[in-house]
């Protein structure tokens, strides 16, 4: 298995990412996250041979850069989702949350036909390795507070503020 790594700037600081041989996104990692592990080390631990190839990473780099510039509100890059069927269902539902909007963990559970499974949605969010593109930053607690974010609440805040700013400038 090969992983091709690259990096771009994002509203939450430097963002490293990796794609597979066909250009599907397999990882995103905020450099300023609360987790110290380097993305490449994690990929190697999982058995990937890590390399660079700007041609393979170009599409993802372009879409992430457009998001950062406020020119893109949805992503079209292919995603390589790896996880349980429940995790994949949650992550697919997250991609349906519109840019600049939020949903509660309970709302996501309800949309998946699993009322009462808010904590299970939270656990799936915590294992999302494609933050931003699979926008777990748009999921909040039922009381409207931000709740958790794998990279840290400071990054979640920056991403939500970026999306609100883009929408206010467009409107």
> Within 13 Å of residue 109, how many CA atoms lie on the same side as its CB?
17
Residue 75 lies inside a defined structural domain of this protein? no
Residues classed as catalytic: 136
Segment 99-149, tens digit of pLDDT: 999 999 999 999 999 999 999 999 999 999 999 999 999 999 988 888 777
Same domain, 93 and 163: yes
User: Which CATH number does the domain housing residue 107 bear?
Assistant: 1.10.10.10
Number of domains in the chain: 2
| DSSP classification of residue 14 | E
Domain that holds residue 107: 85-170
**Contact (CB, 8 A) for 150 and 128:** yes
Helix, strand, coil abundance in the chain, percent, nearest 5: 40, 20, 40
Nearest-angstrom CA–CA distance, 136 and 64: 16
Residues 128 and 102 in one domain: yes
Q: How far apart are CA 138 and CA 146, in angstroms?
A: 9
Please say whether the beta carbons of 147 and 122 come within 8 A: yes
- My answer on whether 42 and 97 are in the same domain is no
- pLDDT given for residue 152 in this prediction: 76
**Do 22 and 94 lie in a common domain?**
no
Domain termination residue (choose one: 24, 42, 68)? 68
Per-residue confidence in pLDDT tens, the chain, 171 aa: 999 999 999 998 899 999 999 999 999 998 877 554 578 988 999 999 999 999 999 999 999 999 999 999 999 999 999 999 999 999 999 999 999 999 999 999 999 999 999 999 999 999 999 999 999 999 999 888 887 776 778 888 999 999 999 999 976
Are 95 and 39 members of one domain? no
- Return the SS3 of 83: coil
Single residue among 43, 68, 93 that ends a domain in this structure: 68
User: Are 12 and 32 in contact, with CB atoms under 8 Å apart?
Assistant: yes
Coil, helix or strand for 130? coil
Residues 108 and 165 in one domain: yes
**Domain containing 9 — which CATH number?**
3.30.160
Task: Evaluate whether residue 78 is within a structural domain.
Answer: no
């Amino acid at each position: 298995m090969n992983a091709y790594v690259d990096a771009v700037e994002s509203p939450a600081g430097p963002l490293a990412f990796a794609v597979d041989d066909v250009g599907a996104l397999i990882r995103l990692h905020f450099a300023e996250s609360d987790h110290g592990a380097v993305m490449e080390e994690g990929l190697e631990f999982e058995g990937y041979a890590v390399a660079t190839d700007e041609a393979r990473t170009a599409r993802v780099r372009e879409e992430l850069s457009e998001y950062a510039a406020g020119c893109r509100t949805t992503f079209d890059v292919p995603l390589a989702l790896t996880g349980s069927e429940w995790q994949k269902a949650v992550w697919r539902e997250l991609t349906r949350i519109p840019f600049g909007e939020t949903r509660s963990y309970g709302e996501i559970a309800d949309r998946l036909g699993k009322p009462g499974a808010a904590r299970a949605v939270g656990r799936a969010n915590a294992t999302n390795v494609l933050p931003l593109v699979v926008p777990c930053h748009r999921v909040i607690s039922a009381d409207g507070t931000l709740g958790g974010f794998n990279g840290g609440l400071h990054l979640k805040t920056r991403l939500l503020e970026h999306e609100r700013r883009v929408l206010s400038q467009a409107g």
